[in-house]
Structure 1
Amino acid sequence: MIKVHHLNDSRSQRVLWLLEELGLDYEVIRYERDAATRLAPPALLAIHPLGKSPVIEDGDIKVAETGAVVEYLLETYSAGRLRPLAGTEDARRFTYWLHYAEGSAMPPLLLKLVFSMLPQRAPGLVKPLVKGISAKALTSFVDPQLRAHVGFWESELGRSEWFAGDQFTAADIMMSFPVEAGADRAFAPAAQPRLKAFLEKIHARPAYQRALERGGAYSYA
């Protein structure tokens, strides 16, 4: 049975969702973030040297990094499901979104989180200085980047119903976390009707809901 080392409120929720979409049996091994730092617990270091989640174990095979896990599961178990036919334009879009989700979409979202949290964590004497620097970084660099990405997502969903074409694929699973995190910290869903519809559709999928039951509390749902 596949084992999923799953951290709450993390990108590994997508792995549980994919497993549910594929109808595979799996075991969830849960880890909880530190309530103060929001960091993963040291116990994850015993699973992977970087102490990150998700990590899956499939017999003697261990795979880390969400995109790599998704590719492994699709290659091993999907029998062509949840991905477009190879060699098509949709397949090229699928590959793009599969890698874009982590490679381009997540860095500005992470910067938004970091700079938003810095002032409250700074020592009292330097708090005003840190607040000013953080605000400048957000307004001059991070927020414009996020507006560009959100506009791109909204526009691309105007080309087809899903990110890689008119059929739901694992690219939509990969893009779920950036869009959910973006709705939490980068855009108002009401102002982005296509992204709002995307979120409503994925949240209504039975496999998504089953994954939530298995994974536990998830702030972005």
Structure 2
Amino acid sequence: MITLHHLNNSRSQRVLWLLEELGTPYQIECHQRDATTQLAPASLKAVHPLGKSPVIVDSDHALTLAESGAIIEYLISRYGDYNWAVDESAAEYWQYRFWLHFSEGSVMPPLVMRLVMNRIKTAPMPFFVKPIARNIATKVLNNFVEPNIRSQLAFIEQHLQAHTWFCGARITGADIQMSFPLEAQVSNGLDANEFPAIHRFVHQCQARPAYQAALQKAPGYAYVCAPTP
């Protein structure tokens, strides 16, 4: 039996979605962020030394596994009853591997840095430090973080303009992996006129019955987007 250790408003939502898509039996253990710090609770440290989510425990195979990309590949490899991966002989194989790694390797770091810099700008601090800290945070955002985010979004948008899913006409694990950063962007006000393909991708992910079933298992997900009018 698989146990998913799920943290609210985190990357584990996409693992929950994949488990629903695969239809393999699982159970869910829900953990809640600290309301003040937004950090994961200490209860996750008892599951995995990193104390973060997602983590799965596969008791049938004596395996505890962290990192959403590794978890997605494991679940598809061991429990996939649909071809959620791409065969090595297929032309799209390296695109599949690229998007699996791109999500966490390139897309998420500047998004996390944006979150940190914005928190620095609003954090309480001595009055004589405030203008210096805020000026540094603004410069980092304007000169590095935001240009990187926009460059990546433009690249993704161009790709999705030509593809229904990231690897072509059918959904794969790469779409599961790429869903989290893109739905976070869309739900936070990404311009639909400038990035229509990204909006379309997010809405088609969230419209899937398995995605909706995952929401029922862990309600209150902050990155659910309003249906396209």
TM-score by length of 1: 0.95
Q: Which has the higher contact order (CA 8 A, sep 6+)?
A: 1
Provide the rounded CA distance (Å) in 1 between the counterparts of 2:81 and 2:213.
22
Q: Tell me if structure 1 keeps the 8 A contact 2:22–2:82.
A: no
Provide the rounded CA distance (Å) in 1 between the counterparts of 2:108 and 2:174.
15
Which sections of structure 1, spanning at least 5 residues, go unmatched?
A: none
Is the helix fraction higher in 1 or 2?
1
Residue 80 of structure 1 and its aligned partner are, at CA, apart by 5.0
Structure 1 residue aligned with 2:7: 7
Provide the rounded CA distance (Å) in 1 between the counterparts of 2:190 and 2:133.
24
Q: Secondary structure at the match of 2:220?
A: coil
Which sections of structure 2, spanning at least 5 residues, go unmatched?
A: 225-229
Q: Tell me if structure 2 keeps the 8 A contact 1:11–1:177.
A: yes
Residue 184 of structure 1 and its aligned partner are, at CA, apart by 4.2
Provide the rounded CA distance (Å) in 2 between the counterparts of 1:121 and 1:45.
27
Q: Deviations for 1:113-149, whole angstroms, at most 9, x for unmatched residues?
A: 1111112224142222222111111000000000000
Deviates more, 1:99-108 or 1:72-81: 72-81
Matches within 5 A, 1:30-109: 30-59=30-59, 60-79=62-81, 81-109=83-111
- Alignment partner for residue 162 of structure 1, among 135, 151, 165? 165
Structure 1 residue aligned with 2:175: 172
Provide the rounded CA distance (Å) in 1 between the counterparts of 2:209 and 2:82.
20
Q: Tell me if structure 2 keeps the 8 A contact 1:7–1:32.
A: yes
Q: Tell me if structure 2 keeps the 8 A contact 1:8–1:32.
A: yes
Q: Tell me if structure 1 keeps the 8 A contact 2:20–2:210.
A: yes
Q: Tell me if structure 2 keeps the 8 A contact 1:40–1:51.
A: yes
Provide the rounded CA distance (Å) in 2 between the counterparts of 1:2 and 1:16.
11
- Alignment partner for residue 145 of structure 2, among 142, 163, 188? 142
Structure 2 residue aligned with 1:18: 18
Structure 1 residue aligned with 2:216: 213
Residue 47 of structure 1 and its aligned partner are, at CA, apart by 0.9
Q: What RMSD, in angstroms, separates the aligned Cα atoms of the two structures?
A: 1.4
